[in-house]
Amino acid sequence: MARLVWIALFALAAVAPFWLSGYHLYQFAQVMIYAIALLGLNLLTGFNGQLSLGHGAFFAIGGYGAAILIVKFGLPYYFAIPLASVICFIAGFLFGFPALRLGGLYLALATFALAVAAPQVLAFKGFDAYTGGSQGVQVPKPDALFGLHMNVDQSVYWLCLIVAALLFWLAANLVHSRIGRALIAIRDQPIAAETMGVDAALFKTITFGISALYAGIAGGLDAVAVGFVSPESFGLPLSLAFLVGIVIGGLASLPGAVFGALFIEFVPNYADQLTVYFGENAKALPGAVYGVMLILAMALAPSGIAGLMRSLIRMLRRA
């Protein structure tokens, strides 16, 4: 049943470029990019219980990596993005080692520091030749997919869709496999899991690597979609937005990544309407709305939108 829903969703998304305008395609491409990043983060935090406040940094490595490979090394995007994401995997895997020793809160602190330090590292003088320093890197738009006749927005959109579908499918297989169960076991009962022979250290570091890989692919796609990367694109607010996304979307849930992505992409846009009621200074109030929704979500819907949907479906089934 769930599989049908996914396929229907994919089909709907696939034909969207025929009736959506460029701006909307751009927005939905962003949604898919965020969904990939959120999926990665969810694997780590939702399924494996390792709290990361710093995934914006891996997103940045993917974005800058792809941009530099495309612009400075002349690689086409379909090589640049995977290559950049491999770098992210390695970075995530390496970060996973110290992360092993850090429980919940301490890992949150460490990854928080990572998110805060990332923009400064990106703007570091020594890397200027590659990163363009504070000017950033302009990424040229990709050629049409498979040489077919389509405009740039459609091309980028379909690229994101294909990659997202592939990554979701892989994640679904991972989560429903023995490995997925092992990850969940490590999250819920780490000591029991070890006793049962699960190599927690290996699984945890690899999961960190995979989640960084996902974030890196998303970052690479984002660099191509936006056409520009700079240190300001990857600050702390991005990492926090990712966390908001998986929590509101639904932890340990694949659909949750999609709901979360829709939330973080569209909700801030509608908060502009608040200025009508509260005056011009209210342009900053979206932040407060975010905060309130986070708290309400935790209180009323701790399993996020995905959890609400599940309850709804259960209610309907019983009726």
Partner 1 sequence: MDRRHFLISAAALALTPRLARAADMPGVTATEIKIGQTMPYSGPASAYGVIGRAEVAYFKMLNEKGGINGRQINLISLDDGYSPPKAVEQVRRLVEQEQVAFLFQCLGTPSNLAIRQYCNENKVPQILASSGSSALDDPKNFPWTTPANPIYRNEARIYAKYLLKEKPDAKIAVLYQNDGLGKDYLLGLADVLGGAHSDMIVKQVSYEVTEPTIDSQVTTLQGSGADVFIIAATPKFAAQAIRKSYDLGWNATRIVSYVSLSIAAVMKAAGVEKSKGVITAHFGKDPTDERWKDDQGMRDWYAFADNYMTHKDGLDSNAQYGYGNAIAMAAILKSCGDDLSRANILAKATNLSGLETPVLLPGIRMTNKPDSYSALRQMQLAQFDGVTWRLFGDLIEA
Partner 2 sequence: MVEFLHQLSSGLALGGVYAITALALVMIFQATQLVNFAQGEMAMFSTYVAWQLLQSGWSYWAAFAVTVVASFLGGVLIERVIVRPFANAPVLASVIVFIGLGFIFNALAGFLFGFSVQSFDTPFDGRPWFGNKFMSAHESGSVLVSLIVLALVFAFFRFTPLGLAMRAAAQNPASARLVGVRVGWMLALGWGLAAAIGAVAGMMAAPIVYLDPNMMSGLLLYAFAGAVLGGIDNPWGAVMGGYTVGIVENLLGAYVVGQEVKLSVALVIIVGVLVVRPQGLFGRRIVARV
Residues that bind partner 2 (CB under 8 A): 45, 51, 53, 98, 101-102, 104-106, 108-110, 112-114, 116-117, 120-121, 123-125, 191, 236, 240, 243-244, 247, 251, 278, 281-282, 284-295, 297-299, 302
280 touching partner 1, by CB under 8 A: yes
Least distance in angstroms from the C-beta of 181 to partner 2: 19
Q: How many residues bind partner 1 (CB under 8 A)?
A: 36
Least distance in angstroms from the C-beta of 62 to partner 2: 19
Cα gap 316→319, rounded to integer Å: 5
54 touching partner 1, by CB under 8 A: no
Cα gap 164→259, rounded to integer Å: 14
Of partner 1, partner 2, none, which one does residue 160 interact with (CB within 5 to 8 Å by kind)?
Answer: none
Least distance in angstroms from the C-beta of 58 to partner 1: 16
273 touching partner 1, by CB under 8 A: no
Least distance in angstroms from the C-beta of 81 to partner 2: 26
16 touching partner 1, by CB under 8 A: no
21 touching partner 1, by CB under 8 A: yes
Tell me the residue length of the chain: 319
Q: Which is nearer to partner 2, 3 or 125 (CB)?
A: 125
| Longest Cα–Cα distance in the chain | 64
Q: Which is nearer to partner 2, 131 or 155 (CB)?
A: 131
